[in-house]
Structure 1
Amino acid sequence: MTPSPATAAVRVRRAELSDLDDLVALEEATFDHDLVSRAQFRRHLDSDSARVLVASANHRRFLGTALVFFRKGSRVARLYSIASLPEARGKGVGTALIDAAEAAAVQRRCNALRLEVRTDNDAAIRLYERLGYHRIGPVVKGFYEDGSHAFRYEKKLA
């Protein structure tokens, strides 16, 4: 997948062990519930069934992260989590991370990428829909740890 013009300055790479502190700090600063723990991030960094991505730009080595899961025998990847620093929001970091997640899924021969999003997360919903994701299925009641509902989205990949 080719990066969108808005994401040209944002670079995305696979996360390394040296990113662990930043990954955990961003997770704790971004989410109140359903956090990925340090031990889970550590496991995902070395896992064949996960890809942890990190975005950087303009000499900032850590602006955001995405976590993608792959299931053996499935052609559908799952964008489990995406987060960016507050100062990076609205500057193409999320788009670049999603582009990279899609590219990772295509590389793994997946033909679709799915995700869940809180029904009250209007900014994320707008981003996903702008990038070609479509809502699938009914609202998932009580999906999140705090009882919040979720929408499921999917994008077919080339």
Structure 2
Amino acid sequence: MSTDIQIRPARPDDLSALLAIEQICFTSDRLSKRSFKHFLHSSTVSLAVAQNSQADTILGYVLILYHRGTSLARLYSIAVHPQAQGQGIAQKLIHYSELQATERHCSFMRLEVRLDNQAAIRIYQRMGYKSFGIYKEYYEDNEDALRLQKRILIHQESRQFRKIPYYSQTTDFTCGPAALMMAMQALEPEFSVTQHLELQLWREATTIFMTSGHGGCSPHGLALAAWQRGFDVEMMISHQQPLFLDSVRSAHKKSVLTLVHNDFLAQIANTSIRTRHETLTIHNIENALKQNQVAIVLISTYQLDRCKTPHWVVVTDIDQYFVYIHDPYTDEKCHKTALDNQHLPIRRESFDRMCQFGKVKLRTALFINKTAI
């Protein structure tokens, strides 16, 4: 009976039972032994099992992934042994996972479920999960996935996000082009986004150098790239001097960064790009969204990955508590997929801290609109 079921954190000695349940419950998209071993020791994961307290057997499990720096938890996998189904074990596992997520100050739980799994969909809906999209051909057999979400802290109806298509950057240094392409396609749905365009935009907007390796993209370069493709651009930036100089040590690199910056300024002087030398605030971004502009914002990734890296993201929505972003950087090895990086909820105060980079606390954003003036 379900009253004999105990939900507890998984232990390393549960590995064999977890693999057995995975084998019997799924015919494809199975988690491997290596994956379970990783999850059992990861600090960004909650893995719990349902155990029959009388027979001391494992009857199911639930796996939750946490996205560092955000208020999002993802129900990545859940399984109940066929012989134990119908006893409410899945609901107990889900409820336990929600409690675990709220203890980590998460406000949203998201998940994907096969469109043909109506029984599971009904369970989620009864527990308050609401649909917010479909992911085409998500599973190995090309079945679509229904995306569901529940606000597990601060009750509010599910949000209707602005329709901004998602594009994952294909290199470590093209977050700016990826963010810009998402903005341009949101405004012009027929606008074609490709890796070729991603790299072309980088060549047009790059600072040449930044920290180590290839340079990223400056707001000036991205603004020019958007304007040259017929979009209206407004740039907010807190500093007028050349950017990212403190990210390099070499005098030669500093001189190149300065040369590139001055060239961008000279080109912008001959365009209709509007530049506002002000300190960017969330209120500025909200106003831009209300005017149907798309906002791409430079952040520091420290709160996301503990690396002080400049990174461009797209703001998809803002409410009383959260800023929602599309983050173009994905990492399959860390289970940070394109699905995980869409409409990421970040608390307003946390996002405000993210919106400053470097020793000079640079704050900058581009507000893109449909037609250039």
TM-score by length of 2: 0.40
Is the contact made by 2:6 and 2:53 (CA closer than 8 Å) also made in structure 1?
no
Matched, 1:44 2:47: no
Matched, 1:35 2:24: no
1:72-118 C-alpha deviation (Å, 9 max, x unpaired)? 11101000000001111110100110011101110111001000000
Alignment counterpart, residue 79 of structure 1, candidates 61, 72, 75: 75
Structure in which a larger fraction of residues adopt strand: 1
Distance 2:6 2:41 in 1: 21
Alignment counterpart, residue 126 of structure 2, candidates 123, 130, 140: 130
What is the match of residue 62 of structure 2? 66
Q: Give the AA of the match of 1:108.
A: R
In 2 relative to 1, CA 15–122 (structure 1 residues): closer, same or farther, beyond 3 Å? same
Q: Which runs of 5+ in 2 are unaligned?
A: 154-373
Secondary structure at the aligned position of 1:147 is classed as coil
Give 1:58 shift.
Answer: 4.7
Distance 2:27 2:83 in 1: 19
What is the match of residue 333 of structure 2? none
What is the match of residue 90 of structure 1? 86
Is the contact made by 2:21 and 2:59 (CA closer than 8 Å) also made in structure 1?
no
Q: Which runs of 5+ in 1 are unaligned?
A: 1-5
What is the match of residue 52 of structure 2? 57
1:9-37 C-alpha deviation (Å, 9 max, x unpaired)? 42110000110001011111111111110
Distance 2:128 2:68 in 1: 25
Secondary structure at the aligned position of 2:112 is classed as strand
TM-score by length of 1: 0.92
Distance 1:103 1:127 in 2: 17
Distance 2:141 2:24 in 1: 17
Alignment counterpart, residue 136 of structure 2, candidates 128, 131, 141: 141
Q: Larger Rg: 1 or 2?
A: 2
In 2 relative to 1, CA 107–8 (structure 1 residues): closer, same or farther, beyond 3 Å? farther
What is the match of residue 13 of structure 1? 8
Distance 1:22 1:136 in 2: 34
By relative contact order (CA 8 Å, sep 6+), the higher-ranking structure is: 1
Is the contact made by 1:30 and 1:83 (CA closer than 8 Å) also made in structure 2?
yes
Q: Give the AA of the match of 2:132.
A: I
Please provide the CA RMSD for this pair.
Answer: 1.4
Distance 1:153 1:87 in 2: 27
Distance 1:90 1:156 in 2: 26
Secondary structure at the aligned position of 2:132 is classed as strand
Distance 2:137 2:129 in 1: 22
Distance 2:17 2:40 in 1: 13
